[in-house]
Structure 1
Amino acid sequence: MKNHRTHPIRHLKNGGSSEATQALLAEEPLSIRVQGNPYTVVMRTPGDEIAHVAGFCLGEGIVDAVEDFGTLAFCDEDVNVVTVTLTPKRSEKVPEILDRRGFISQTSCGICGKELISDLRQATQSVDAAPIDLATVSKALDELSTHQPLREITRASHAAALFDEAGRLLSVAEDAGRHNALDKAVGMLFLKKELPEARFLVLSSRISYEMVQKAARAGIAIIAAVSRPTALAVELAEGLNITLCSLARNDGLFVYTHPERIKV
């Protein structure tokens, strides 16, 4: 299944119009089944489905380690359906998660910010990590676009990339959904048991509270993004000991929480 397709368009401009074609980002449903039951359907850009579901399961607390999976596979080679089974030991630990109607990273109607933050803090442990040089984080942010071939084609995808303390790229993923891109990038390392090597996360999108929660579940203590965080993301990051920063317009970074983790 392709991650993009071409589509005919009409280019209108002063003085006339012309016919052309344009690459459009693909978006398809992915059904995730857990313990034989439908768990959720997410809209995503095709590709890296197994890593996507692995990262999703880690972010939601369904698993804590790769060993918690009994099986993780496509359903009869259908790339739009991934089935997850847990080991008996793990399934006994997370019955409330398996019965949950909504995600940790999704708020139901009527819930207030304080209630949401309280729930997320209870479900997610505080993280910690050694400081990273400002130049290392800034360079990764500046060069993120070079790791986005799908964006170059479609101008429509989000990206998430994980780096080690020296600024070496460990994994990167693109998707129509920023949450999906992060799940994929995390899942790639999680399945290879290399997630502990990741020291900071770079996003092409804004930092919302869901992205903070997913990073915390992955043990990532620094998030740098092209766009600024939301107020709720800052509040959650403050409590979870996560450093949030965004690209400053002229030079450097704006740091919103725990600035001591970025070395100047």
Structure 2
Amino acid sequence: MVDSHDRRIRIVKNGRTESGAIALVGEEPLSIRVQGSPYAVVMRTPGAEKPHVAGFCLGEGIVDAPGDLANIAFCDGEDTNVVTVTVTDARRRRIADHLDRRTYISQTSCGICGKTIVADLVQALSPVADLDPLDGTGTLGCLLRLGDHQPLRDKTRAAHGAAIYDHALNPLSVAEDVGRHNALDKAIGSLFLDGNLDQARLLTLSSRISYELVQKAARARIPVILAISRPTALAVRLAEALNMTLASLGKDDSLMVYCHPHRLAWPQ
């Protein structure tokens, strides 16, 4: 497992395009098993899996002290995305009710990985159709002005934002939330309930782009995502497979386009 991936991209600045290279943070699932049963799957950057799982178990109340742990081990060598946790007999008796109440996840495979996630989602989601390209300069402007639509962020400095636009770059829906996934759910859900989701063409985000946000946008059939922060490598792989355009803000208000740049038109 690696914590970053090199990616060739296009950089657009003042309407001029050049190629470049960038490192994308890694994102992989980590399946956590407790006493032999699946407990949770979390997305993380590979590395420090055992400390990650130990901290997770402390936060979940599975353990109170290091001595409660009998063992933390990889399921099949150190190249897997599955870590198993065994607690002492005394601790197991103390948390029996907690483990019984827990609704265990359905993921039981030891072989989960980013490639599996992409393959499964591509089967479940159809690629987004090609429509007329969006004005590249205008989309960048929408991203740069995202903060203008975030009063909660201005007040608290602790809220994420998501804004959705139509083909003419008219705003359709804007939402804020302490969670980036929640902000996107709110913005999409508003259009969904109003029956206007089919007009959505551009999504701008205040956060980095993780694969879950690409998945949500694909379900909403939004073909272009622009974000303040960079995407993960897994997000780019999924967007590439689903024919979606991903880009993020670069230096000096440039735009870094990671896949399917044909949806953004720039002045010649």
Q: Classify the TM-score, shorter chain.
A: 0.5 to 0.7
Distance 1:236 1:150, change over 3 A: same
TM-score, with length taken from structure 2: 0.58
Aligned residue pairs total 163
Alignment equivalent of 2:151, drawn from 142, 149, 152: 149
Instruction: Decide whether aligned partners of structure 1 residues 112 and 250 sit closer, same or farther in structure 2, where only a CA change above 3 A counts.
Output: same
The equivalent residue for 1:233 is 235
Cα displacement (A) at 1:102: 6.2
Q: How does 1:4-15 map to 2 (within 5 A)?
A: none
Cα pair 1:102 1:108 within 8 Å, conserved = no
Q: Which runs of 5+ in 2 are unaligned?
A: 1-102
Which of 243-252 and 153-162 deviates more?
243-252
SS of the residue corresponding to residue 257 of structure 2 reads strand
The residue type paired with residue 169 of structure 2 is G
> Paired residue for 1:116?
117
- Within 2, Cα distance between the matches of 1:240 and 1:212? 9
Paired position in structure 1 for 2:128: 127
Aligned residue identity for 1:255: V
**Cα distance in structure 2, aligned partners of 1:102 and 1:168:** 41
Name the aligned partner's letter for residue 208 of structure 1. Answer: S
Paired AA for residue 183 in structure 1: D
Q: Which amino acid aligns with 1:115?
A: T
Q: How does 1:105-254 map to 2 (within 5 A)?
A: 111-128=112-129, 129-254=131-256
Identity %: 58
Where does structure 1 differ by over 2 angstroms across 4 or more consecutive aligned residues? 99-103, 107-110
CA deviation after TM superposition for structure 1 residue 153, in Å: 0.6
Aligned amino acid, residue 146 of structure 1: D
What is residue 98 of structure 2 aligned with on the other side?
A: none
Q: Could you tell me how far apart the structure 1 residues matched to 2:249 and 2:160 are? A: 16
Counterpart of 1:191, as a letter, is L
1:262 pairs with one of 253, 261, 264 = 264
What is the aligned partner in structure 2 of residue 13 from structure 1? none
Contact 1:209 1:233 in 2 (8 A): yes
Give CA-to-partner distance per residue, 1:49-96, whole Å, 9 cap, x none: xxxxxxxxxxxxxxxxxxxxxxxxxxxxxxxxxxxxxxxxxxxxxxxx
Q: Distance in 2 between matches of 1:109 and 1:159?
A: 35
Distance 1:186 1:109, change over 3 A: farther
Q: Distance in 2 between matches of 1:153 and 1:108?
A: 44
Q: Indicate the structure (1 or 2) with the bigger Cα radius of gyration.
A: 2
Offset of residue 122 of structure 1: 1.1
- List alignment gaps of at least 5 residues for structure 1: 1-98
